[in-house]
Amino acid sequence: MELLQTLLATLVALGVLVTIHEWGHFWVARRCGVKVLRFSVGFGKPLWLRRGRDGTEYAVAAIPLGGYVRMLDEREGEVPPALKDQAFNNKPVLQRIAIVAAGPVVNLAFAVLAYWFLFMSGISVVVPVVGGVTPGSPAAGAGVDSGYEVLEVDGHPVRSWNEVNLRLASRVGESGRVELLLGEPARGLAHSYQVPISNWYVDLERQSPLSALGLEPWQPDFPARIGQLLPDGAAMRDGLQSGDRVLSVDGEPIDSWMHLVEKVQAAPGRALALVVEREGREQALTLTPGQRENAAGEVQGYIGAGVAPVNVPESMQRTLSYGPVEALTNGVHKTGQMIGLTLDSIGKMIAGVISVKNLSGPITIAKVAGTSAASGLESFISFLAYLSISLGVLNLLPIPMLDGGHLLYYMVELVRGRPVSEQVQMLGLRIGMALLFSLMALAIINDIVRLF
């Protein structure tokens, strides 16, 4: 069932984003008088094909990892004299620029609308109150106190842990000071902290910028009750069931979920004697945790079980909801922030500040799509918005084969007054193909490594 949900969520996500991207090209091409031969969602052999009254073929193809709009073009085949004025290559350069740019621009516009919808309907978030500070961390060194709400990061107001993380993510790889403003708004209390960072490295595969700085979000008291179980995890293998409450480990009473986590992490590969409460009865089990490395390279125990959810007090929740105009303004701002963060991350990856291990491919996208869909409509729409921004920004990069590569050629043509030579374009195409296929292979390898 979980696999089916992941597949459906992935198909919906890719289908929606690819369709609107190609629709952008299609819509502007038609407005510029270009004859469109085929509008396809997906590559390869068409699973569904229909010819419209306008003569355009509309197709859904077998490989759902993209799509294309095929336009009449003298560079790709013979064009009858009567249709030469409808060929893409015969249109003015400004019209060609508009057609090529339309796909990524529509992706970014979709993100704005998605965030507008979320801000209109209301986003539920947990108030960013610091629950603890990791000893020896940059935040601990700056004297940051727990129990207070994070109000600002580097002078920017924040209202949720997601906003705190995004602000901190923009500082990865930098040196200087992160300015945090913490306090209790209801009492008018606020205190500023200067957290020093030096070439701040964050292993984004294993930790968030928040935890790397040493801030631990407030959490409600979680009893040691088992929630979701991984099919191949030690917990399911050794007989634990969803709903079990762990009472003791090796004879020591367990008073919270984190207490259980500490016991498990300290016992990689070692059998533990558990007493659990199941349907009102106590039951003895033997649990042998698996092993995996943490961010510091230390081997820890791991059982493949999640904590059962608990209710968050209303005082620790807030809803971000706005009227139509303010929601649109916030949607534009959020999209701009995510565009900036995406470009910043690409630049830092090229500079070596962020590891290329953070590149993700279709497997990771599918996993995140499934997880976000399972978390509800709000989470799934947020995922769609972020993925749409990534698609739009990446397509605008000046790499041949991508929309941005074509835009680069047309910009050069606009300045020089004549097209870039076929030889240069073919050389760029080969370089672009090699670069894209290498990045795609690296992303898929990263996906496979994450699976195991």
Domain spans in the chain, listed from the N-terminal domain onward: 93-122+323-452, 124-220+311-320, 226-307
Active site residue 277: no
Alpha carbon 225 to chain centroid, angstroms: 29
Contact partners, residue 251, CB within 8 Å, separation at least 6:
273
pLDDT score of 432: 84
Reported as a pLDDT band with limits 50, 70 and 90, residue 2 is: low
CATH class of 124-220+311-320: mainly beta
Q: Of 22, 184, 216, 277, which residue is the catalytic one?
A: 22
Phi-psi bin for 55: left (phi > 0), alpha (psi -120 to 50), beta? Answer: left
Instruction: Tell me whether domains 124-220+311-320 and 226-307 share a fold.
Output: yes
Give 140's strand partners: none
pLDDT score of 195: 94
- 377-430 pLDDT, tens digit per residue, is 888 899 999 999 999 999 999 988 899 999 999 999 999 888 888 888 888 888
* Total number of residues shown for the chain: 452
Q: Please give the Cα distance from 250 to 265 (Å, whole number).
A: 14
Contact partners, residue 162, CB within 8 Å, separation at least 6:
125
pLDDT surpassing 70 at residue 295: no
pLDDT score of 442: 81
Higher pLDDT, 49 or 372: 49
Q: Which whole number is the average pLDDT over 87-112?
A: 96
* CATH among 2.30.42.10, 3.90.78.10, 3.40.50.2300, 3.50.50.60 for 226-307: 2.30.42.10
User: Using an 8 Å Cβ cutoff, are 17 and 65 in contact?
Assistant: no
Sign of CA dihedral 30, 33, 39, 44: negative
pLDDT score of 197: 92
Q: Provide the token pair at 325.
A: 């105009």
Q: DSSP for 29-53, please give it.
A: HHHTTPPEEEEEEEEEEEEEEEE-T
User: Using an 8 Å Cβ cutoff, are 264 and 303 in contact?
Assistant: yes
Give 246's strand partners: 276
pLDDT surpassing 90 at residue 363: no
